[in-house]
Structure 1
Amino acid sequence: MAYQNIAASLSPQDIQEIRAALQTVQRKLPFLITLSTEERRKLVKMGDKSLAFVNNSITAAQSNREILPATFDVEELVRDYQLAAALTELLTSMQQITEQVDDTLMAVGSEAMTSSLTVYDYVKTASKKTPGLKTVAEQLGERFKAIGKGKSAKTPVS
């Protein structure tokens, strides 16, 4: 669906319910960890292409236990694989939602900024003739003072 102007809102109850749902997800995944960049770098990675390899190695391990050391835990390998498969499925869904939230945030942020720049342009113009608007124009103009240091901010003309 092509992007169009977004006219939506979230009620406080909606936000509360979404937060509760996210907390439920976190409670259902108490084993999640956070890895440092260094830890991530050192780990052997299992991507999509490796799923078949791991699945086939499970079959080989289950069929040929006698060739593995007695300390090798085939059941742990199976649990790791099953958890990895389940988390991969969940991650795909979560990434889709995250991407949509991010895209929507970018779009509505752009809409708000574009409209605000229009308001600022009108306030600047009107402040030259309307008493009391100079302070408002200066307040709005604070947003652009750090940009360009001496260069005028480009605002849309409506």
Structure 2
Amino acid sequence: MSYQNITGSLSAQDIQEIKTALQKVQQKLPFLVTLSTEERRKLVKMGDKSLAFVSNSVTAAQSNREILPATFDVEELVRDYQLATALTELLISMQQLTEQVDDTLMAVGSEVMTSSLTVYDYVKTASKKTPGLKTVAEQLGERFKAIGRSKSTKTPVS
């Protein structure tokens, strides 16, 4: 892995400021929609491979308005294209941030889980000789009970 150990913290104020900044981002995007699975399925999709097609169609529409029906709104096509381009740029930035937050969470989660497993091992060992630790060891051991049961309750395949 490319990191050694994550040392960082977020104060309650930091978290609130980040949430406020995210709310400001949402306020700047009042036109965002939430689509149902069915709505998503029915839509014609524009992916990366379609970008040149869409760009060329916008240029063709702007240059050849006379071949389009009078009801076709070329300006709306241009606005939609510009919005799609801007949202794509924002999405890439947001995905990069999301990936970094996700990777950092996974790494720091691994660190804290590894350390917790070490603590559990020491508590289990010490609980045999140190009064009062048996309950703590049992409490910590609850995390692994379902794992042990699922292995022992499986019936052999004939």
- Output aligned runs, 1:42-61, within 5 Å: 42-61=42-61
TM-score of the pair, normalised by structure 1: 0.92
Q: Which residue of 1 aligns with 2:85?
A: 85
Task: Give the number of the structure whose residues are more often helix, by fraction.
Answer: 2
Q: 1:150 to 1:63 in 2, by over 3 A?
A: closer
Q: Which residue of 2 aligns with 1:155?
A: none
Query: Greater CA deviation, 92-101 or 7-16?
Result: 7-16
- Output aligned runs, 1:66-105, within 5 Å: 66-105=66-105
CA RMSD of aligned residues (A): 1.5
After TM superposition, the runs of 4+ consecutive aligned structure 1 residues lying more than 4 A away are none
TM-score of the pair, normalised by structure 2: 0.92
1:148 positional shift: 3.0
Asked whether 1:13 is paired with 2:13, we answer yes
Q: Which residue of 2 aligns with 1:156?
A: none
- 1:44 corresponds to which letter in structure 2? V
Q: Which structure 1 segments of 5+ residues have no match?
A: 153-158
Q: Which structure 2 segments of 5+ residues have no match?
A: 153-158
- 1:50 corresponds to which letter in structure 2? S
Asked whether 1:38 is paired with 2:71, we answer no
Structure 1 CA distance for aligned equivalents of residues 151 and 130 of structure 2: 26
Give identity over the alignment, percent.
Answer: 89
- 2:28 corresponds to which letter in structure 1? K
- 2:132 corresponds to which letter in structure 1? G
